[in-house]
Amino acid sequence: MKKIIFITLLLSLYGCCTPIPVERHFPSVPVELKTPCPDLKKIEPTTKLSDVVDTVIDNYSLYHECSIKFKAWIDWYDQQKTIFESVK
Amino acid sequence: MWFLLHLIPDNFLHLIVHGITVIGIVGFAISIFAKKIPFISSYGVMLGLISLLILVLGVYLEGGYGVEMMWRNKAADLQKQIAIAEEKSKTVNAVIETQVVKELQTVHDVQVKWKEKLVTITEKIDAQCTVDPDAIDLLNKAAMNPLDYTEEAK
């Protein structure tokens, strides 16, 4: 009797596992966009303006790199959304 | 157990459903003429009832089969669309990746260019200006992520 109850319960639970005939995968993201933006560089103790400017150039580049990645993320989202919504 | 239908191949399911309907029709037709057929003349009514039940079941299953096929076709169509969408998605990723790599390279090239320029004017700007340590300290604090500020940094 216990076995019958167990099997019945098991079958009832299996009913919850509605088979989904359509599989959809979340779109992947380019590796470059997965790298977080680094912290800005700090200036080593110095009195030379050239050292300061050197670090400033590095930091501007870091900003531009981060900006490119951020724009790419927006672009990626917009295009993937359009593709996602095209499936009906 | 309706979900088990997904496991049965289309053709086999088609055969079973049509088979049941045909058995019902044939059985019912035979039952009409049962009185004229020897051996089964006395079972005409019973055969008619059973055939009718089988026919009703067959018609019911035909309906269910139609719906099942409709969903299978819809699922297959959706799966095709998804395959196309996934392909498009990969193409978009490749385009974005190429563009990002190209732009990052440009940033790097320009950075190198400015550094080369800096080397040429280093002596001149260092001779004209001395930077106060407080200015360095302020710049470093400004460069910090404000979310990482501690009381010490302030």
Please give the Cα distance from B121 to B127 (Å, whole number).
Answer: 10
Would the CB atoms of A87 and B82 count as touching at under 8 Å? yes
Using a CB-CB distance cutoff of 8 angstroms, which residues of chain A are in contact with residue B121?
50
Of A18, A30, A52, the CB nearest to B131: A52
Would the CB atoms of B97 and A31 count as touching at under 8 Å? yes
Structure tokens at A69: 């990645």
Using CA atoms of A27, A31, A36, A42 in order, give the dihedral in degrees to the nearest 10.
-160
Q: Give the pLDDT of residue B138.
A: 92
So where are chain B's domains? 8-124
Q: Give the pLDDT of residue B154.
A: 57
What rounded mean pLDDT belongs to chain B?
A: 88
Q: Give the pLDDT of residue B6.
A: 65
Quote the DSSP letter at residue B144: S
Using a CB-CB distance cutoff of 8 angstroms, which residues of chain B are in contact with residue A8?
none
If one counts every other C-beta atom within 10 angstroms of the C-beta of residue A41, the result is 16
Is the pLDDT at A12 greater than 60, yes or no? no
Binned at pLDDT 50, 70 and 90, residue B110 comes out as very high
Average pLDDT (A64-78) is 96
Quote ipTM for the complex.
0.75
Average pLDDT (B28-48) is 84
If one counts every other C-beta atom within 10 angstroms of the C-beta of residue B100, the result is 22
Question: pLDDT tens for residues B80-102?
Answer: 999 999 999 999 999 999 999 99
Which residue in A7, A43, A82 has the most chain B C-beta atoms within 10 A of its own C-beta, making it the best mutation to test that interface?
Answer: A43
Q: Answer whether A35's CB lies under 8 Å from B118's CB.
A: no
Q: Is A48 helix (H, G, I), strand (E, B) or coil?
A: strand
Q: Give the pLDDT of residue A7.
A: 62
